[in-house]
Amino acid sequence: MSKTSTLFLCALAFAGATQGSAAERAFSLELGLARPTSDLKEYNNGTTGLALGGAFQVDLGDGHLLRPRISLTRFQETTGYYALSQAALAVDYLYFLEGRAERGFYVDGGLGIASNRYTCSTNPIYAQADERPVFSVGAGYQFNRAWGVEFRASASKFTDRTTVNAVSNVQFLDVLATYRF
C-alpha cells in the first residue's frame, strides 16, 4: 500500500469521524460467509470463506451514513488449490431509503485498499501478496438499532508474479450479520 493511499484513507476516515455528535456515532462488527466468483473461484475451487470486520459508523443525518471499516476475508486451502486472505481498509457510504439510519433498507458503496495474499502449502513458491484498490457495492436491512444483515460484492485485482505478472480478479460476495454498539 502506498503512503499516499494510506494517508488518503486515514484523512477520509478522520473527516467522517469528526462529523456529527457523539450520539450519531457507533461502532459495529460484521461476521459472515464469503463466496468466491470470477478468477478467485478457480484459484480455490469455489470454497466458501469467512468474513470478519469492524467499523466506525457516523450518521450524517437524513439517512446518510459514512462507515470507515477494516475487514478480513479468508478462504481456506483445499487439496491442489490456494488459500486466499484479504485484509481491506475501506470507507463506505450508506444511504437508508427511509431517511433514518436506525432501521430499514439501505444501499452502500465503498472504496479502499486491499492486501491480497495467496498461499499454497504444497508449493511455497506461490506465497505472494499484492496491495490493490478494492471496490464494493451492497444492500442491507437494519432490523433495529443494533442488528442488521448486509449483502456485499467486493472486487479487487491480484498480480500473479509466478505466471509472467498475470493479473487476476479477486471478487467475492459476502453475506454478513452486523451488530452495532
- Mean pLDDT for the stretch of residues 150-162: 84
What's the rounded Cα separation, in Å, for the pair 51 and 88?
11
- Mean pLDDT for the stretch of residues 60-89: 89
Asked if residue 178 has pLDDT above 80, the reply is yes
Q: Which domain holds residue 103?
A: 3-180
CATH number for position 48: 2.40.160.20
What's the rounded Cα separation, in Å, for the pair 142 and 96?
9
Nearest to 115 by CA among 164, 165, 71, 173: 71
Q: What is the reported pLDDT for 163?
A: 62
C-alpha cell at 4: 499516499
- CA 83, 87, 91, 93 torsion-angle sign: positive
C-alpha cell at 15: 473527516
What's the rounded Cα separation, in Å, for the pair 148 and 153?
17
* pLDDT bucket at 107, cuts 50 / 70 / 90: very high
CB 93 within 8 A of CB 64: yes
- Mean pLDDT for the stretch of residues 132-139: 96
- Mean pLDDT for the stretch of residues 134-140: 97
Asked if residue 31 has pLDDT above 90, the reply is yes
- Mean pLDDT for the stretch of residues 20-42: 80
The residues near 158 (Cβ < 8 Å, ≥ 6 apart) are 39, 116, 118, 128, 130, 132, 167, 168, 169, 170
Q: What is the reported pLDDT for 42?
A: 74
Query: In total, how many domains does the chain have?
Result: 1
Q: What is the reported pLDDT for 22?
A: 46
Higher pLDDT, 77 or 64: 64
Mean pLDDT over the full length of the chain: 83
- Mean pLDDT for the stretch of residues 69-85: 85
SS3 content of the chain, % helix, strand, coil (to 5): 15, 60, 25
DSSP state of 95: E
Alpha helix segments (H runs only) across the chain: 3-17, 38-43
Asked if residue 175 has pLDDT above 80, the reply is yes
What's the rounded Cα separation, in Å, for the pair 16 and 10?
10
